[in-house]
Structure 1
Amino acid sequence: MIYTVTFNPSLDYVMRLHTFQPQGVNRTYEDFIVAGGKGINVSIMLRHLGHDNTALGFIAGFTGDEIIRQLSNEGCNEAFVRLAEGNSRINVKLKSEGETEINAQGPAITEADVAKLYRQLDTLVDGDILILSGSIPKGLPNTMYRQIMEYLQDRQIQIIVDATQDLLMNVLSYRPFLIKPNHHELESVFHRTFETEDHIIDAARQLQSKGARNVLVSRAGDGAILLDEHGQVRTKKVPKGTLVNSVGSGDSMVAGFLAGYLESQGDYDTALAMGVAAGSASAFQEWLASRADVEALL
């Protein structure tokens, strides 16, 4: 079974405007609300690609109820911990001349709530896949993902981590199956700008030397680079298309990579191609792509 963990799910309120005027009245010409959060995006995209999975994490209040309703409509399984207080966050995504995001903090998560998540993790068995994706709410340590991996280290569970800064660096010694920084996140980790593809590959090798088995670097319109566990570098350009919505494209890449890896029984060329196609397909439309959309780009 595949499991995703989203510590801070959201409802993403997407608003399209012809122009955006600060300190003025703005009116949308289109808007919609979708369940969001990186792990939730991965869960939905995996379901679109035909792979059952269970979404774990924390939800609260009436917004949490709507997140669950939307996941159910997508055919996703869920086993969220229900928080006693607060509401799951609402994030605003403004689309006008560019893309502007306003992300809320989200509800407080107590030690007792985290203990409930660990009890759910106790049900994982050898051969399961766990995806730890996104940020950690204020009040929880930036070693949270590392603590989960340490807790599960005696089981044969493939763990994928899509996170930034210390959340990512803290897990490397526990040999995650895959990490997926984008090129900006990679630059942030190394406190430098990468001018060439070779610079990115060198940085990926450094992360691999610290323990990551596979390093997948997404590069927006420049495609993606995979440094696989055998030391081979694989690159893939993106197909042609018009960017409509970049939110969720990186999560779609994670889902596509995993789907391609599982369906090909471990072929990394297939996994990379499926990952890039899935990320691109979602970027070329309003929200997360269908299997048919992905296969059309393949």
Structure 2
Amino acid sequence: MIYTITFNPALDYIVRVDDFNLGGVNRTSYEEVYAGGKGINVSTVLNNLEIESVALGCIAGFTGDEIERRVKSKGVHTDFIKLNNGMSRINVKLKSKEESEINGRGPYISKEELNELFSKLEAIKEGDFLVLAGSIPNTLPKNIYETIMERLNLKKVKFIVDATGELLLNVLKYKPFLIKPNHHELSELFNIEIKEDDKIIYYAKKLQEMGAENVLVSRASKGAIFIKSNGEVMKSVAPKGEVKNSVGAGDSMVAGFIAGYLKNKDLEEAFKMGVATGSASAFSEDLAKKELIEKLLNEII
């Protein structure tokens, strides 16, 4: 089974204003609400690919109820912890000549509620996948991903981590099956500007030396670079298409990688499926659907 954890899910309120006027009254030309959060996005895209997963995490208040309703309506299995206080956040994604975001903080998660989540994680078995993705509320200990992986390490779970900074660096010693920084995050990890392919490969291999098994570096319209566990380097140019949505493309790449890997346990197939799935979300108003993913997969070199 595949499990995803989203500690800080949100209702993403996406609006388009054709010519945004700062300080003035603006009217939208498009608006939509989605249940957001990196782990939720991974579970949603897996479901679109007809692969079951369980979305774990924490929700609170009326916004939390709406997040759960929307995730379930997509056909995703959920097992959220319902917090006693606060409300799940609302994130505003403004699309105009430039894209802007306003992200909420998220609710308080008590030690008792966190222990309830730990209890649910006991159901995870050897060979299962656990996706740890995204930010965490500032009320949680900064080593929360590390704590989870330490607790499950002996079960030989396949960990996939899509996080930034210390959240990522601190878990490398538990040898995650896959990490997926983008090239900007890779630069931030090593405090150096990284643009050229050879630098991306060099620093991705540094992450392998620190413990990561496979490293997938997403590069938006430039495609992706993948360093396999045996050190082999693979590159892929992104398929051509009109970019309509950058939200969730990286999460979709993770979901596609898992889906591709599950077919034949082939890392090359997983990489290509990841690139196709990430691109399919970028070319869609919503998260990637199976039909477009399969079409784009044929274009991946």
Fold shared, TM-score > 0.5 on shorter chain: yes
Q: For 1:26 and 1:236, how far apart are their aligned partners in 2?
A: 40
Q: For 2:183 and 2:109, how far apart are their aligned partners in 1?
A: 31
5+ long unaligned stretches in structure 2: none
Q: TM-score, normalised by structure 1?
A: 0.99
Note closer, same or farther for the CA distance 1:195–1:128 as it changes in structure 2 (3 Å cut): closer
Q: Report how many aligned residue pairs link the two structures.
A: 297
Match of 2:29 in 1: 29
Match of 1:134 in 2: 134
Match of 1:292 in 2: 291
Alpha-carbon offset, residue 196 of structure 1: 1.1
Tell whether 2:276 aligns with 1:277.
Answer: yes
Alpha-carbon offset, residue 287 of structure 1: 1.2
Identity %: 54
Report Cα offsets for 1:220-276 as digits up to 9, x if no partner. Answer: 01100110111110111100011111000000000001100111x221111111101
Q: For 1:101 and 1:20, how far apart are their aligned partners in 2?
A: 13
Report Cα offsets for 1:105-155 as digits up to 9, x if no partner. Answer: 011111111100100001111121100000010121221101100010110
Equivalences for residues 129-278 of structure 1 within 5 A: 129-263=129-263, 265-278=264-277
Alpha-carbon offset, residue 195 of structure 1: 3.4
- Which AA in structure 2 matches 1:10? A
Q: For 1:259 and 1:139, how far apart are their aligned partners in 2?
A: 33
| Runs of 4+ that moved beyond 4 A | none
Q: For 2:73 and 2:139, how far apart are their aligned partners in 1?
A: 32
Match of 1:101 in 2: 101
Q: TM-score, normalised by structure 2?
A: 0.98
- Which AA in structure 2 matches 1:292? E
The residue matched to 1:154 in structure 2 has which SS? helix
The residue matched to 1:295 in structure 2 has which SS? helix
Q: For 1:287 and 1:141, how far apart are their aligned partners in 2?
A: 32
Equivalences for residues 31-110 of structure 1 within 5 A: 31-110=31-110
Equivalences for residues 106-117 of structure 1 within 5 A: 106-117=106-117
Q: For 2:97 and 2:40, how far apart are their aligned partners in 1?
A: 27
The residue matched to 2:242 in structure 1 has which SS? coil
Q: For 2:194 and 2:9, how far apart are their aligned partners in 1?
A: 32
Q: What's the RMSD between the two structures over aligned residues?
A: 0.7
Q: For 1:274 and 1:98, how far apart are their aligned partners in 2?
A: 29
Report Cα offsets for 1:146-203 as digits up to 9, x if no partner. Answer: 1100010110210100000000000000000000000000000011111310000000
The residue matched to 2:154 in structure 1 has which SS? coil
- Which AA in structure 2 matches 1:245? N
Q: For 2:139 and 2:149, how far apart are their aligned partners in 1?
A: 19
Alpha-carbon offset, residue 101 of structure 1: 0.8
